[in-house]
Structure 1
Amino acid sequence: MDLGLEGRTAVVVGASKGIGRGIARALAAEGCNLFLLARNAEELAATARAITEEFGVSATPIAADVSDTASVSAAAAAVRAKVPEINILATSVGTAIRRQDRTITWSDADWQADIDIKVTGILRVIREFEGMIATDGSGRIVNITGASGLMTWMPALNYGMNNAAMIHASGYLAADMADRGITVNTVVPGIIGTEWREGWAGGMAGDQDKEDWLGEFCGGKGIIARRWGKVEEIGDAVAFLASDRASYITGTRMVVDGGLTANIR
Structure 2
Amino acid sequence: MELNIRGRSALVTGASQGIGKEIASGLAREGVNVALLARNREKLEATARALQAEHDVSFECLAADVTDAESIQRALATLANKQAFGTLNILVHNAGVPATRPDSQLFWQDSEWREVIEVKTLGALRLARAALPMMAKDGSGRIINITGATGVAVLKPGLLHGAANAALMQATGYLASELASQRITVNAIVPGLVATENRRKWLQGIAANGGRAPEETLAALCKDLGIALGRWAQMSEVADLVAFLASDRASYITGAKIPVDGGLTLNMRGR
* Fold agreement, TM-score > 0.5: yes
Write the distance in 1 (CA, Å) between the matches of 2:47 and 2:103: 34
Any stretches of 5+ residues in structure 2 without a counterpart?
Answer: none
Write the distance in 1 (CA, Å) between the matches of 2:81 and 2:109: 41
Write the distance in 1 (CA, Å) between the matches of 2:201 and 2:102: 20
Write the distance in 2 (CA, Å) between the matches of 1:92 and 1:58: 20
Q: How far is the alpha carbon of 1:98 from its aligned partner? A: 5.7
Give yes or no for contact 1:69–1:124 (8 Å, CA) kept in 2. Answer: yes
Q: How far is the alpha carbon of 1:156 from its aligned partner? A: 1.6
Q: Partner of 2:60 in structure 1?
A: 60
Mean Cα deviation higher: 78-87 or 244-253: 78-87
Q: Partner of 1:148 in structure 2?
A: 150
Write the distance in 2 (CA, Å) between the matches of 1:251 and 1:204: 37
Q: CA RMSD in A?
A: 1.4
Write the distance in 2 (CA, Å) between the matches of 1:107 and 1:254: 32
1:248 to 241, 249, 252: 252
Q: Partner of 2:93 in structure 1?
A: 91
Q: Residues 167-246 of structure 1 correspond to what in structure 2 (within 5 A)?
A: 167-206=169-208, 208-246=212-250
Q: Secondary structure at the match of 1:54?
A: coil
Q: Partner of 1:47 in structure 2?
A: 47
Write the distance in 1 (CA, Å) between the matches of 2:132 and 2:237: 26
Deviation by residue 1:168-211 (Cα, 9 ceiling, x = unmatched) = 00000000000010000000000111011112323433464432
Write the distance in 1 (CA, Å) between the matches of 2:198 and 2:104: 23
What is the identity percentage for the equivalent residue pairs of Structure 1 and Structure 2?
A: 48
Mean Cα deviation higher: 102-111 or 84-93: 102-111
Q: How far is the alpha carbon of 1:70 from its aligned partner? A: 1.5
Give yes or no for contact 1:145–1:166 (8 Å, CA) kept in 2. Answer: yes
Q: How far is the alpha carbon of 1:72 from its aligned partner? A: 0.6
Q: Residues 28-47 of structure 1 correspond to what in structure 2 (within 5 A)?
A: 28-47=28-47
2:124 to 122, 125, 130: 122
Deviation by residue 1:16-40 (Cα, 9 ceiling, x = unmatched) = 0011111101101101001110111
Write the distance in 1 (CA, Å) between the matches of 2:105 and 2:217: 29
TM-score, normalisation: structure 1: 0.96
Deviation by residue 1:102-126 (Cα, 9 ceiling, x = unmatched) = 3333343332222111111111111
Q: How far is the alpha carbon of 1:41 from its aligned partner? A: 0.8
TM-score, normalisation: structure 2: 0.94
Write the distance in 1 (CA, Å) between the matches of 2:104 and 2:86: 47
Write the distance in 2 (CA, Å) between the matches of 1:27 and 1:84: 18
Any stretches of 5+ residues in structure 1 without a counterpart?
Answer: none
Deviation by residue 1:124-162 (Cα, 9 ceiling, x = unmatched) = 111100111101110000000000000011122111000
Give yes or no for contact 1:51–1:57 (8 Å, CA) kept in 2. Answer: no
Aligned residues: 265
